[in-house]
Amino acid sequence: MTMQTRKAASVEVALGAASWEGVDTNAQALVDRWLVSEGTHVAAGDVLARVVLVKATLEVTAPAPGVVEQILVPAGENFSRSQALAQLRPD
C-alpha cells in the first residue's frame, strides 16, 4: 500500500509497489470488487477492494483510518502501476 499527498487532507489509495515487482511494465491489473462505498468510514488495514494482477487476487487495504472520499477506478476496470484507486480523507 502506498500513500501520496493529493490534497492537504487526503491520501491516495493504490496497490503497493511490491505487488508489481517483476510484472511487465505495461501490464495492468483489474479491480474485481469494492468492499466499501464512497462515504464509508474505515480503520487502518481494512480491506477496501480486491484486485487481480497476473492471475493473483490481491487485497487493497486502507493506509489510515478515515472516510473513503472517492473511488477513482470502479469495479470491472483496469488500472496501471502507481495509479490511484481511491481517495481517502484521514480522521
Q: Which residues make up the interface to other proteins (CB under 8 A)?
A: 18-24, 27, 30, 32, 45, 47, 50, 52-59, 61
Residue 33, C-alpha cell as written in the block: 470488487
Number of H helices and number of E strands within the chain?
1, 9
Cβ 23 to other proteins shortest distance, Å: 5
Task: Considering the complex, state which of residue 9 and residue 56 has its C-beta at the smaller distance from other proteins.
Answer: 56
Task: Considering the complex, state which of residue 7 and residue 32 has its C-beta at the smaller distance from other proteins.
Answer: 32
Task: Considering the complex, state which of residue 9 and residue 47 has its C-beta at the smaller distance from other proteins.
Answer: 47
Q: Are 63 and 88 spatial neighbours (Cβ–Cβ below 8 Å)?
A: yes
Task: Considering the complex, state which of residue 2 and residue 6 has its C-beta at the smaller distance from other proteins.
Answer: 2
Cβ 38 to other proteins shortest distance, Å: 22
Cβ 32 to other proteins shortest distance, Å: 4
Q: Are 68 and 80 spatial neighbours (Cβ–Cβ below 8 Å)?
A: no
Q: Could you tell me the strand order of the sheet in which 5-7 lies?
A: 5-7, 10-13, 86-90, 66-71, 41-42
Residue 2, C-alpha cell as written in the block: 502506498
